[in-house]
Amino acid sequence: MKILCSSLYEQQLKVILAEFETFKSAKDFKLYLDTIVMNAPTKARKYKQSIYFDDEDVKDIEYEDYTIIMHINEEKESYFLVGIVKK
């Protein structure tokens, strides 16, 4: 199993983390987000199909006020984080 991130996801995450008032709150957000992402493969089929793409292999993971868009490739056993957007 591989979890990959697009450069868009990384850029969007940096912007989101920069908006937090304290380093601790940004760190806590990122730590919990990482936990969700690491556990995504075991729960991938439970997530709803993305509203942004017409593809059953693209899922939306909701966390706080954000939606993480993830593409699942079962053949390659990989999970690709496409982006993270504010709801």
Q: What percent of the chain has pLDDT over 70?
A: 100
Domain parsing of the chain, residue ranges:
2-86
pLDDT tens string for the chain (87 positions)? Answer: 899 999 999 999 999 999 999 999 999 999 999 998 888 888 877 899 999 999 999 999 998 899 999 999 988 889 999 999 998
Topology classification of domain 2-86: YaeB-like fold (3.30.2310)
pTM of the model: 0.86
pLDDT digits (tens, 9 = 90+) for 32-54: 999 988 888 888 778 999 999 99
3-state secondary structure the chain: CEEEECHHHHHHHHHHHHCCCCHHHHHHHHHHHHHHHHHHHHHHHHCEECCCCCCCCEEEEEECCEEEEEEEECCCCEEEEEEEEEC
